C-alpha cells in the first residue's frame, strides 16, 4: 500500500470538516499536514479524477469533498490512489511445463488466482465498510474532541 493512500485519507478527513460551501486551497492542506505542496498535489489530483473531491478555481478556489464524508469509503480512496488493478496478477503458470493440458481445460481462472482474488475481495469488503466520516468520529473519540475542535478552528481561519 503506497504512502499516497495515507496522505489522501488524511486530506479527505480534513476536507470533511470544512464549513459547508467552503473550499481549502491545496497549499493549506499541505500546511495542515506539514508536507510539501507539490507532493500532495498529485494525490489531490488523483482524488479529484476519481470524483471524491472537487476543485474550484478563482480567488476563492480550492478543494472540497465531492460527496459527503459518509459516502466516501477507504476503498474509494485506495482505488483512487492505487488504481483498481488486482494486487495478484495470475501469470498462468499452470499452462507451462510437461504436464500442461489442452486449452479448453483453462477456461476457468487458475485455482491460485481464484484463492488470491477471494482474499482481495475480503480486503476490499473491509475497506468499503469504513467511511471518512467513521474515521473522523474515531478521532473525535480518541482525542476527546480536541483534534476536531482544533481542526475546525484552524479551518475557520484559512478556508475560503
Q: Could you tell me the smallest distance in angstroms from the CB atom of residue 88 to a second copy?
A: 5
DSSP state of 5: H
- Binding piece for a second copy, criterion CB under 8 A, among 19-27, 48-56, 63-71, 83-91: 83-91
Q: Are 39 and 6 in contact, with CB atoms under 8 Å apart?
A: no
**If residue 155 lies in a helix (H) or strand (E), which one and from where to where?**
helix 146-158
Contact criterion met (CB below 8 Å) for 62 and 26: yes
Record the cell numbers describing residue 34, joined without a space. Answer: 506539514
| Using rule CB under 8 A, residue 57 touches a second copy | no
Going 109 to 80 to 148 to 150, the CA torsion angle's sign is positive
Residue closer to a second copy by CB (options 13, 50) is: 13
Instruction: Give the residue with the Cβ less far from a second copy, 34 or 58.
Output: 34
Using CB under 8 A, list all residues that contact a second copy.
Answer: 1, 3, 5-7, 9-10, 13, 31-35, 74, 87-91, 93-94, 96-99, 101, 105, 108, 111-112, 114-116, 118-123, 125-127, 130, 134-135, 138-139, 142-143, 146-147, 150-151, 154
Amino acid at each position: 500500500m503506497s504512502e499516497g493512500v495515507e496522505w489522501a485519507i488524511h486530506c479527505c478527513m480534513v476536507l470533511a470538516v470544512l464549513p459547508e460551501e467552503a473550499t481549502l486551497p491545496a497549499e493549506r492542506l499541505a500546511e495542515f499536514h506539514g508536507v510539501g505542496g507539490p507532493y500532495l498535489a498529485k494525490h489531490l489530483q488523483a482524488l479529484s479524477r476519481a470524483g471524491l473531491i472537487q476543485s474550484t478555481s478563482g480567488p476563492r478556489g480550492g478543494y472540497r469533498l465531492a460527496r459527503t464524508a459518509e459516502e466516501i469509503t477507504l476503498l474509494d480512496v485506495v482505488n483512487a490512489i492505487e488504481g483498481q488493478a488486482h494486487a495478484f496478477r495470475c501469470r498462468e503458470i499452470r499452462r507451462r511445463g510437461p504436464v500442461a493440458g489442452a486449452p479448453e481445460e483453462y477456461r476457468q481462472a487458475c485455482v491460485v488466482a481464484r484463492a488470491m482474488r477471494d482474499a482481495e475481495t475480503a480486503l476490499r469488503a473491509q475497506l468499503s465498510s469504513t467511511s471518512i466520516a467513521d474515521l473522523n468520529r474515531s478521532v473525535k473519540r480518541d482525542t476527546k474532541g480536541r483534534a476536531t475542535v482544533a481542526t475546525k478552528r484552524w479551518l475557520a481561519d484559512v478556508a475560503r
